[in-house]
Structure 1
Amino acid sequence: MKVLFIGGTGNISTESSLLCVQLGIELTLLTRGNRGVAIPGAKFIVGDINQKSTQEQLAKQQWDAVVNWIAFTAEDVERDIKLFSKNTNQYVYISSASCYQKPVSNPIITESTPLANPWWQYSRDKIAGEDALTKAYRETGFPICIVRPSLTYDTVIPLPIGAWTHYNVIERIKQGKPIIVQGDGTSLFTITHASDFAKGFVGLLGRQTTIGHAFHITSDESLNWDQINLAVAAAVGIKPNIVHIPSDFICHVAPDYTGTLLGDKSHSVIFDNRKIKQFVPDFCPSTPFNIGIQQTLDWFAEKPERQIIDHQAEALSDKIIKQYQQAFN
């Protein structure tokens, strides 16, 4: 099977790239060559999908599947529809589970849950991409398959405040400084290790029966945000100083958190994974969060240059905590 990944060396996608090669898939990755991630056995094209010369190079080949890991808007999708309309048997769009209805009317999320997120432009852009693909599928038969990951991690710290690619929250835990947990810490969320995501994702590639379908691929483990933060702190080896602050208050002080909190992580959600398991019977998530986050923090510990502190975000966390304590204590 001949597969093209546009991207393929990021936090979510690297494990999928490695698994493709392990399974004998002929994998080509189009990247800009900036990340320095090695995928032994894969072919690399260094280029930009928006460049005409790169597009001409891709158009000369026939693909069993094309996956765009870095398409974020309807314009990105419409470019790909034109580029791959005649030379791929499957086009996989990486959307987002944050596209699902917010606020949720039912905490059990299936692939038929409505897509609507008034809080987050990122999610609305992903929905617009899905809409463009659905239109192309209905009108021309463009062979779409939509995948919606939810908070998938490997080389990032999957907490909404002072984390992700930054090391702020870990340093705060080490120093005994308070860390913010949105709400009262009891809302449920699902965090998925990229190696588990890869098992379901790679199983979809090249399958004719996936055309026209959407799938989310998540862990079966649901934890509340206190449990999630406690697991992170346990991996550090220090009991955390947790401060619970309402999401509305956080977003009032720091509006940039509105999308990720009010549009996603302040809601309790439980994902129904029966559809991906029907199409990929071997899919079985096996990395609990307390194990996966230890692996992630070990990865950060390997190289000091990965332990980046965002000083502006650090000052913002202190500001949120100070204003909350002044208002309510």
Structure 2
Amino acid sequence: MKALFIGGTGTISMGIVKRLAEDPSWEVYLLNRGNRKNEVPASVKQITADIGNEEDVKKKLEGMTFDVVSDFIAFDVSAVERDYRLFEGKTRQYIFISSASAYNKPAASYVITEGTTLANPHWEYSRNKIACEEFLLSKYRENGFPVTIVRPSHTYDERHIPLGVHGKKGFYQVIKRMQEGKPVIIQGDGSSLWAVTFNSDFAIGFIGLMGNRHAIGEAFQITGDEILSWDQIYKTVADALSVELRPYHVSSDLLSEVGKEYGYDFEGELLGDKAVSVVFDNSKVKRLAPQMTTNIPFHKGVRRALDYILSHPEEYEEDPEFDAFCDKVIDALDNAKKAIISSANK
């Protein structure tokens, strides 16, 4: 069978590509700009193109058909409209990578299923994903376009650490703060629940949907089964670094307001996603991919990631702006606490 991945070298997709590259029943093609060719398995075929150049892509794919096409870099309706024009009648299945952040939070139940309402007033990213889903499902209903919706949550790999509060350059500065013995900001009181998934585990669920006719016209969330509080997540990272965690809890509402002054979108990432407890019911995807489970729990996955990160510091940027932001917020709140205590004692 033939699969075409648009993108294919990101955190989520690379785990799938590596697994499929070892499966002789699949012939895998990547369509991207070729910036990470050295990391792609030798058996994978590369089509070098910018998906935004529709005419060029159309020419390069002329005469080709696929069993599965999946776009890992479609973030708005214009992107899936383009994909529909390119692949209608040329694939037996089109898998759209949506997001579990599209679910309404807090939902009526903390247990999230594929039937949980889609709505996110806090995050444009999530609203765009919802709009993409609606367009594709309308094409399925009207024209039989063979779409499958996949909703990942917080997926990571050996290059990334999943954290709740970080700056524009990612998680690395938080790791540095831990190593330097500085307090680390955690949203809320750290007790809300979250699911993190290593990309090779995600790949098992995703591949179980590929070429499966029972997946057509359906949506599936794919996450690990391990549920941790945010304090547990940060404590696991600190333990792997062999340092003491100094958690500093700040309400997500306050972070959202203060962050705006510094250009941080904590409203979307926290109020629209990570601040709310979620437990994902993965029974639907497991019916089609029964081997889907947490093979790499977080305490093992984070050590894999730190082994790579600490041995490749040249690939990561320090973020002095975020470091200063954390210090300002912590100092301001400490002073406010002292003032309140002093006032209450008078």
Shared fold by TM > 0.5? yes
1:324 positional shift: 2.1
Amino acid paired to 1:33: G
Which residue of 1 is the match for residue 14 of structure 2? Answer: 14
Match of 2:258 among 247, 253, 256: 253
The whole-number CA distance in structure 2 between the counterparts of 1:271 and 1:308 is 33
Contact 2:103 2:119 in 1 (8 A): yes
Which residue of 2 is the match for residue 321 of structure 1? Answer: 330
Alignment of 1:135-154 (within 5 A): 135-154=138-157
Q: 2:193 matched to 1:188?
A: yes
Which residue of 2 is the match for residue 38 of structure 1? Answer: 40
Which residue of 1 is the match for residue 344 of structure 2? Answer: none
Q: 2:242 matched to 1:237?
A: yes
Which residue of 2 is the match for residue 283 of structure 1? Answer: 292
Deviations 1:62-97 (A, max 9, x none): 100000000000111111011100100000000000
Between the two proteins, what is the percent identity of the paired residues?
46
Alignment of 1:127-138 (within 5 A): 127-138=130-141
Q: Secondary structure in 2 aligned to 1:190?
A: strand
Q: 2:283 matched to 1:274?
A: yes
Match of 1:157 among 161, 168, 188: 161
The whole-number CA distance in structure 2 between the counterparts of 1:324 and 1:80 is 48
Contact 1:218 1:273 in 2 (8 A): yes
1:59 positional shift: 4.0
Structure 1 portions without partners, runs of 5+: none
The whole-number CA distance in structure 1 between the counterparts of 2:113 and 2:162 is 22
Amino acid paired to 1:307: Y
Contact 1:64 1:89 in 2 (8 A): yes
The whole-number CA distance in structure 2 between the counterparts of 1:302 and 1:32 is 27
Question: Which sits farther off after the overlay, 131-140 or 279-288?
Answer: 279-288
Amino acid paired to 1:278: R
The whole-number CA distance in structure 2 between the counterparts of 1:274 and 1:313 is 39
1:323 positional shift: 2.4
Q: Secondary structure in 1 aligned to 2:70?
A: strand
The whole-number CA distance in structure 2 between the counterparts of 1:315 and 1:13 is 34
Q: 2:119 matched to 1:119?
A: no
Q: 2:63 matched to 1:54?
A: no
The whole-number CA distance in structure 2 between the counterparts of 1:31 and 1:165 is 23
The whole-number CA distance in structure 2 between the counterparts of 1:85 and 1:218 is 29
1:326 positional shift: 2.5
Q: Secondary structure in 2 aligned to 1:254?
A: helix
Structure 2 portions without partners, runs of 5+: 339-346
Contact 2:123 2:267 in 1 (8 A): yes
Contact 1:148 1:215 in 2 (8 A): yes
Q: 2:295 matched to 1:294?
A: no
Question: Which sits farther off after the overlay, 263-272 or 48-57?
Answer: 48-57
The whole-number CA distance in structure 2 between the counterparts of 1:125 and 1:58 is 27
The whole-number CA distance in structure 1 between the counterparts of 2:170 and 2:5 is 23
Amino acid paired to 1:46: T
The whole-number CA distance in structure 2 between the counterparts of 1:9 and 1:232 is 25
Which residue of 2 is the match for residue 178 of structure 1? Answer: 183
Deviations 1:186-232 (A, max 9, x none): 00000111010001101111111110000011110110000000001
Would the alpha carbon gap of residues 116 and 59 (structure 1) be closer, same or farther in structure 2, given more than 3 Å must change? Answer: farther
Runs of 4+ in 1 over 6 A off after TM superposition: none
Q: Secondary structure in 2 aligned to 1:200?
A: helix
Which residue of 1 is the match for residue 28 of structure 2? Answer: 27
Contact 1:49 1:55 in 2 (8 A): no
The whole-number CA distance in structure 2 between the counterparts of 1:269 and 1:83 is 36
Amino acid paired to 1:16: I
The whole-number CA distance in structure 1 between the counterparts of 2:114 and 2:205 is 15
The whole-number CA distance in structure 2 between the counterparts of 1:232 and 1:23 is 33
Q: 2:109 matched to 1:106?
A: yes
Deviations 1:126-178 (A, max 9, x none): 00100110111111110000000000001211102227744101110010011
Amino acid paired to 1:32: R
Contact 2:162 2:171 in 1 (8 A): no
* Structure showing greater Rg: 2
Alignment of 1:217-232 (within 5 A): 217-232=222-237
Which residue of 2 is the match for residue 201 of structure 1? Answer: 206
Contact 1:108 1:269 in 2 (8 A): yes
Q: Secondary structure in 2 aligned to 1:12?
A: helix
